[in-house]
Amino acid sequence: MKKGTLKQILLITDGCSNKGEDPSAVAALAAQQGITVNVIGVLEDEQTEDPTGLQEVEEIAMSGGGVSQIVYKQALSQTVQTVTKQAMTQTLQGVVNQELKQILGPKQDLEELPPEQRGEVMEVVEDLGETSDLEVLVLVDTSASMHNKLPTVQESLIDLSVSMNARIGRNRFSIFSFPGKRKDIDKIFDWSPKLDSISSVFPKLTSGGITPTGPALKAAMYQFGKKSLKRSFLRKDETSIEETGD
Amino acid sequence: MRQASKKQGINLRPGNVISGKWHHRKYVIKKQLGSGAIGSVYLCEHNGKYAALKISDKSSSITMEVNVLKTFQKVQGNRLGPSLLDVDDWVDFQGNRWSFYVMEYLKGSSLADFLQRHGDEWLGILMLQILDDLESLHQTGWVFGDLKSDNLIVTHPPARLRWIDVGGTTQIGRSIKEYTEFFDRGYWQMGSRKAEPSYDLFALAMVMIQYYYPNRFERGNSPERTLMNKVKQIPQLQKYQPTLRKALTGQYSSSEQMKNELATILMGPTTKQTQYRRPTKTTTAKPKTQYQARNDDGQGHPILESVGICIVVLFFYFCYLFLL
């Protein structure tokens, strides 16, 4: 099987969207384009587990073919990396299922196979997850209420890079924030194989009370199509492999 | 973790019967043994024998764990994990599909319970045992990954430390599948999350440290220094210090090296700390209070002690002078 590049948007937010198009619809569109949308909802310390504002989180991830999780900020690091990994497995499993259907007929998917054969298929999925290239665009809500959570977000993104760079496959990360100053999103950190140099990117950001999640997701989608990214990926970038090895 | 599916976590009651869709075996649920990110583990009965049954709606995760257990079974002696008895699916009354596997039931106590009941001096010995197992595991090309106190159990007698959850077991050279922050060297900024023997040895050192810090601790601004300080503060860890330091800083490339050095320490001359002391029978006390007690009685007050000795010596000296 040809090893493709997995594309993911990781949306980190603490509230409900209140401006522009429906984020779930945009997420469905992204999924159509082969981009998985994962969402992490961050709770205030005193908030209870299921606040109404964050119900949207699950819906967006579901239509975006991704994984969602609502957490307190202390658990963010571990969540960011499990969500990313789970979404990878989920996507790859979807691809494998598609192949199985083509070979064995429309009713056949992984869960319909007896456990013995399922094991063999899962080994393939696992291999793919380890070796395929991954692009993650992190989209961070930087509205006022997120301000005190940003240091934790930053820490957990560095942690994500540590986890992902232990894989054999290559990685690219970029970070965008929304709402942007003039546009829907602002670029904070350009596509790069590692996230270790982001120590000073967040503090300067704060904005008013609007949360245009839909438009931000849409703008984020286009960041994958950029030629610059494709070129940098096609280039035989030996150094970046070296870097990921440590 | 909420995957894009609607099923709620499973909640089985004693007496529920799980019957396999493929192999048609029936298991009667006795009680829950534990639950985690991926599924729950139950004690069950099949043909009059007890076994442990792990069940989850995440078929892929269950399948991956089964793959690991199967690899272990091919290894000589099969002592690397609980042996696998059955793998199957179960469709409940509402038509939901669950995946499960059945493994050997290991009855034992947690590491902390065991050490509290039998004494600290067992810690080093149990570590030697697990280092033996890790050595064989690493030789077959795997790393345990999620090595932590919760994933270890002491079967007794004879006392033997064994691991019970293979969810994090990863092939050498890949990225660690599952880990727990406190035991993860990536979290402590002291190494990568690549599966290599030294990853497990770091986690094992943390298991030893965590016994004396049941509530764990924060990493602080300089994680490495925090760790080393915490090790220094526990008198019972004093003799293990060189080994712990090496394991934490990734200086052992194989379990064998660590095992040999640990064995040398254990075989060495008995110091004050290693002397056999029957632990007080306070098995009901909670770990939290236990820790404080342990810390106090071990440390004492060295300054007061030496001042006391001086006074006694001076007293005898004066007696001697006056008697002359």
- Write out chain B's pLDDT in tens, 324 residues: 444 344 456 889 999 999 999 999 999 999 999 887 778 999 999 999 999 999 998 888 899 999 988 888 877 666 777 889 999 999 998 889 999 999 999 889 999 999 999 999 999 999 999 999 999 999 999 999 999 999 999 998 889 999 888 888 999 999 998 899 999 999 999 999 999 999 999 999 999 999 999 999 999 889 999 999 999 999 999 999 999 999 999 999 999 999 999 999 999 876 555 455 555 444 444 443 344 434 444 445 666 677 777 777 777 777 677 666
Would you call B60 an interface residue with chain A, using a CB distance cutoff of 8 Å? yes
CATH 1.10.510.10 range(s) for chain B read: 111-267
- Tell me which residues of chain A, numbers 26 to 45, contact chain B at a CB-CB cutoff of 8 Å: none
Give yes or no for a contact between B61 and B5, defined as CB atoms under 8 angstroms apart. Answer: no
pLDDT score for B76: 61
For the segment A208-239, what is each residue's pLDDT rounded down to a tens digit?
667 889 999 999 999 986 644 444 444 444 44
* β B97-103/B84-91 pair status: antiparallel
Interface A–B counts its CB contacts (< 8 A) at 81
For the segment A169-192, what is each residue's pLDDT rounded down to a tens digit?
999 999 999 888 888 898 888 898
Would you call B108 an interface residue with chain A, using a CB distance cutoff of 8 Å? no
Give yes or no for a contact between B104 and B51, defined as CB atoms under 8 angstroms apart. Answer: yes
pLDDT score for A112: 82
Beta strands in chain B (DSSP E): 17-19, 26-35, 40-46, 49-56, 84-91, 97-103, 142-143, 152-155, 160-163, 170-171
Q: Which amino acid is at B143?
A: V
Tokens representing residue B295 in the block: 């810390």
Domain boundaries, chain A: 5-244
According to CATH, the superfamily of the domain at B111-267 is Transferase(Phosphotransferase) domain 1 (1.10.510.10)
Residue B102, CA distances (Å) to A26, B25, B50, B66, B165 in order: 43, 11, 10, 10, 13
Residue A148 has pLDDT above 80, yes or no: yes
Determine the Cα angle at B266 with ends B261 and B271, to 5°: 120
Nearest to A168 among B60, B64, B174 (CB): B174
Rounded to the nearest 5°, which phi and psi values hold at B35? -150, 150
pLDDT score for B83: 87
Return all residues near B115 (Cβ < 8 A) that are at least 6 apart. B122, B123, B211
> What does the pLDDT average to over A36-58?
79
pLDDT score for B114: 96
Matching CATH number, A5-244, of 3.10.110.10, 3.40.50.410, 3.30.70.3280, 3.90.1150.10? 3.40.50.410
Q: How far, in Å, CA of A183 to CA of A198, rounded?
A: 22
CATH 3.30.200.20 range(s) for chain B read: 17-103
- Cβ contact B59–A123 (<8 Å): no
Tokens representing residue B12 in the block: 């089985």
To the nearest whole angstrom, how far is the Cα of A21 from the nearest Cα of chain B? 22
- Closest residue of chain A to B178, computed from CA coordinates: A82
Q: List beta partners, residue B52.
A: B43, B103
Would you call B86 an interface residue with chain A, using a CB distance cutoff of 8 Å? no
Return all residues near B127 (Cβ < 8 A) that are at least 6 apart. B161, B204, B207, B208, B262
Would you call A123 an interface residue with chain B, using a CB distance cutoff of 8 Å? yes
Would you call B94 an interface residue with chain A, using a CB distance cutoff of 8 Å? no
Q: Would you report the helix, strand and coil content of chain B in percent, each value rounded to 5? A: 45, 20, 40
Would you call B88 an interface residue with chain A, using a CB distance cutoff of 8 Å? yes
Nearest to A130 among B63, B174, B186 (CB): B174
Runs of H (alpha helix) within A66-133: 76-104, 115-131
Give yes or no for a contact between A40 and A81, defined as CB atoms under 8 angstroms apart. Answer: no
Number of other residues whose CB lies within 10 A of the CB of residue B13: 8
A55: confidence class by pLDDT, cuts 50, 70, 90:
confident
Give yes or no for a contact between B130 and B152, defined as CB atoms under 8 angstroms apart. Answer: yes
Q: How far, in Å, CA of A35 to CA of A28, rounded?
A: 9
- Closest residue of chain A to B181, computed from CA coordinates: A78
pLDDT score for A82: 87
Average predicted confidence (pLDDT) for chain A: 82
- Closest residue of chain A to B179, computed from CA coordinates: A78
pLDDT score for B147: 95
CATH domain B17-103 topology: Phosphorylase Kinase; domain 1 (3.30.200)
Give yes or no: B146 in active site: yes
Nearest to A162 among B22, B192, B195 (CB): B192
Report, in angstroms and rounded to the nearest whole number, the Rg of chain A calculated over CA atoms: 18
pLDDT score for A97: 84
pLDDT score for A235: 45
- Closest residue of chain B to A126, computed from CA coordinates: B64
pLDDT score for A242: 40
pLDDT score for B305: 72
- Cβ contact B70–A114 (<8 Å): no
- Has the ipTM of the complex gone over 0.90? no
pLDDT score for B49: 94
pLDDT score for B196: 96
pLDDT score for A50: 60
Among residues B120, B146, B165, B184, the one annotated as catalytic is B146
Q: In this predicted structure, which of A1-5, A19-23, B178-182 has the lowest mean pLDDT?
A: A1-5
For the segment A102-147, what is each residue's pLDDT rounded down to a tens digit?
887 877 777 788 888 889 888 889 899 999 999 999 999 988 788 8
Q: Of how many residues is chain B composed?
A: 324
pLDDT score for B323: 65
